[in-house]
Structure 1
Amino acid sequence: MSASYLKLAAGELAKRAEKALDMLARCTVCAQECRVNRLEGRLGVCRAGRKAAVSGYGPHFGEEAPLVGRRGSGTVFFTHCNLSCRFCQNCEISQEGEGREVSAGELAGMMLDLQKRGCHNVNLVSPSHFVPQFLEALTIAAAGGLRIPIVYNTGGYDSLETLDLLDGVIDIYMPDIKFADDDAGKKYAGAAGYFSVARRAVKKMHEQVGDLVLDEEGIAVRGLLVRHLVLPGNLARTEKVMEFLAGEISKDTFVNVMDQYHPAYRAFEHPELSRRITAKEYREALEAARKAGLRRVYVD
């Protein structure tokens, strides 16, 4: 199966990139809708400017098996984030700005290098605030021979307008639905209306790519893969996340119910976040997924 972006009409990627870059002038690239002029270096919630910023890239073997295969998932770790999760486990990158700005040509070169190194895909980690820069780079990379699928690995707080620009570009959407509660999203991630936004975004993603499709070797080639991190005290309202996926997306949604929460970054400012989850809490989360009727629950 060919990567989606290779099927676009000639010149379409460049048109999408131009349209996305125009959004930076009064930025509405993500659901924060800060409306600052990033083209002139003004900074909004994500603290990112005109250029993409990257903390590192390379084959990664810690992702879900359908992404990793034998040769790894080709991750590009973007600096900054459009969320400010109090418990972020990558806070040096997302909140403290570890990384460097790169040109479109440099970003394209990274993607091509990942392909050359045999990675099964290009995995964009926290890309929501850098979609224009990604499209600009993909235009160059595709012309230079990029052929592998693109994974959009997001915190779920995505703009529908931006997702429309990614229709026919992204092969695999991998949103993390963090909370099924708008108040919790605002309190713990600085994201107003988080679940309302994420619901609409995930529906749009599924409309574009459908359920996750694996090839004969078990490698993901297209579709939706959802992650959900179980939080202590069920702060994320896991059962509501699972009911949404089963009832409004598909009972065949591939969902990874993750148990690796530990207090990080500013979690200790919130007593309710200052402990790991228990084995019982994780079992209850898995049971919530099964009770909702989900048939593809992934456990590491």
Structure 2
Amino acid sequence: MNKDIERIKENMNILKDCTLCPRNCHADRLGGQRGRCHETAEIVAARAALHMWEEPCISGDAGSGAVFFSGCSMGCIFCQNHNIAEAKAGKIITIERLSQIFLELQGEGAANINLVTPTHYVPQIIEALEIARKAGLDLPVVYNTSGYEKPETIQMLDGYVDVYLPDFKYMEPELAAAYSKAPDYPEYAKASLKEMIRQTGNIQINKETGMIQKGVIVRHLVLPGHVKNSKAVIKYLLETYKDQILISIMNQYTPMPQVAEDPLLSRKVTKREYEKVIDYALELGMEDGFIQEGEAAKESFIPEFNLEGIGI
């Protein structure tokens, strides 16, 4: 048996007793059972289109070819994409259709293939990338994740992903427990980030185009009332990885209806809160990275999940 086919078959077998993410729910997703991610082994996607609102070196002028998958193993209570995270929106597609979507995005001029919330579909994505590459896909692949990953799952992606785009949401286990029911988030985020950097090495930017070719960009979303947590995340990233990675400090937190009663999450991040985090990063020696200026918390960061690019 071809080694690639054998590896793909092994990967798919994980879904019989699913342990892809740190939840280790052991659902038989191949048998139709839904895991903690809300999904079976059938791929469900809600949008595939050129996306302009990523970091400049990912979106560029053409746009990133973003595929938004339904379901999520993280389940943050403040999620701005909660309709798809909770599997309320999306359409079932085959692995073959996913490979076609990658090629269609390439045909539209996408700067890269951007896999958004992909963790629970890693085996299927690997197979789709194999098919698409044989059919001519040659774009960089971006793995856009919550950061709540097992390093073993990230290892499966070695050779398939060029750019990792993880969040690093929490350094405080108590906060991770309160907002995402994941007190082990910091330890998994640290371990998976280490594996991502092992695979990609230092950041590689095309000097002519300004587009990232390989490397890791770590995102941190500042949450209202939690400057201390943000400082702890930034401190860890800068002291551990220095200039090996780029850090994107975001102030686009958008209060959603489901947190309307929460005294902190029901409001936006204040200008002063965000400035405190940025000032702290500069004090620690951050020289390169991304910040958001002005009013970033707006609807443009939340696309319509209307099955665009998925097919009827």
State the Cα distance separating 1:65 from its structure 2 match. Answer: 0.6
Cα displacement string for residues 171-229 of structure 1 (whole angstroms, at most 9, x for unaligned residues) = 00000111111121121012231111101111111111123211021011100011110
Contact 1:253 1:295 (C-alpha < 8 Å) held by counterparts: no
Within the candidate set 130, 133, 144, 1:142 is matched to: 133
**What CA distance in whole angstroms lies between the structure 1 residues aligned with 2:158 and 2:242?**
19
**What CA distance in whole angstroms lies between the structure 1 residues aligned with 2:55 and 2:77?**
24
Of 190-199 and 70-79, deviating more is 190-199
Q: Are the structure 2 counterparts of residues 271 and 135 from structure 1 closer, same or farther at C-alpha, using a change threshold of 3 Å?
A: same
Which amino acid is 1:256 matched to? Answer: S
State the Cα distance separating 1:68 from its structure 2 match. Answer: 1.1
State the Cα distance separating 1:133 from its structure 2 match. Answer: 1.1
2:151 corresponds in structure 1 to: 160
Contact 1:184 1:236 (C-alpha < 8 Å) held by counterparts: no
Cα displacement string for residues 67-114 of structure 1 (whole angstroms, at most 9, x for unaligned residues) = 111211000000111111111111111124200111000000000101
**What CA distance in whole angstroms lies between the structure 2 residues aligned with 1:167 and 1:287?**
36
**What CA distance in whole angstroms lies between the structure 2 residues aligned with 1:45 and 1:236?**
30
Of 241-250 and 108-117, deviating more is 241-250
**What CA distance in whole angstroms lies between the structure 1 residues aligned with 2:4 and 2:189?**
25
Mark the runs of 5 or more structure 2 residues left unpaired by the alignment.
293-312
**What CA distance in whole angstroms lies between the structure 1 residues aligned with 2:87 and 2:155?**
30
2:66 corresponds in structure 1 to: 75
1:114 corresponds in structure 2 to: 105
Contact 2:113 2:142 (C-alpha < 8 Å) held by counterparts: yes
Which amino acid is 2:236 matched to? Answer: F
Within the candidate set 62, 74, 82, 1:91 is matched to: 82
**What CA distance in whole angstroms lies between the structure 2 residues aligned with 1:299 and 1:16?**
40
2:277 matches 1:288: no
Which amino acid is 1:262 matched to? Answer: T
State the Cα distance separating 1:235 from its structure 2 match. Answer: 6.1
Within the candidate set 224, 228, 235, 1:232 is matched to: 224
TM-score, normalised on structure 2? Answer: 0.89
Cα displacement string for residues 15-54 of structure 1 (whole angstroms, at most 9, x for unaligned residues) = 4422221111110111111111111011121011111110
1:123 corresponds in structure 2 to: 114
Q: How does 1:247-286 map to 2 (within 5 A)?
A: 247-286=239-278
**What CA distance in whole angstroms lies between the structure 2 residues aligned with 1:209 and 1:267?**
37
**What CA distance in whole angstroms lies between the structure 1 residues aligned with 2:7 and 2:273?**
44
Contact 1:242 1:294 (C-alpha < 8 Å) held by counterparts: no
**What CA distance in whole angstroms lies between the structure 1 residues aligned with 2:150 and 2:257?**
26
1:46 corresponds in structure 2 to: 37
Of 203-212 and 213-222, deviating more is 203-212
1:5 corresponds in structure 2 to: none
Q: Are the structure 2 counterparts of residues 235 and 273 from structure 1 closer, same or farther at C-alpha, using a change threshold of 3 Å?
A: farther
1:35 corresponds in structure 2 to: 26
**What CA distance in whole angstroms lies between the structure 2 residues aligned with 1:76 and 1:12?**
28
CA RMSD, aligned part only?
Answer: 1.6
2:210 matches 1:210: no
Cα displacement string for residues 260-300 of structure 1 (whole angstroms, at most 9, x for unaligned residues) = 11211422243221211110000011112222322222124
Q: Identity of aligned pairs, percent?
A: 35
1:4 corresponds in structure 2 to: none
**What CA distance in whole angstroms lies between the structure 2 residues aligned with 1:76 and 1:43?**
21
Mark the runs of 5 or more structure 1 residues left unpaired by the alignment.
1-9
Within the candidate set 56, 60, 73, 2:51 is matched to: 60
TM-score, normalised on structure 1? Answer: 0.93
SS of 1:173's equivalent? strand
Within the candidate set 172, 187, 202, 1:196 is matched to: 187
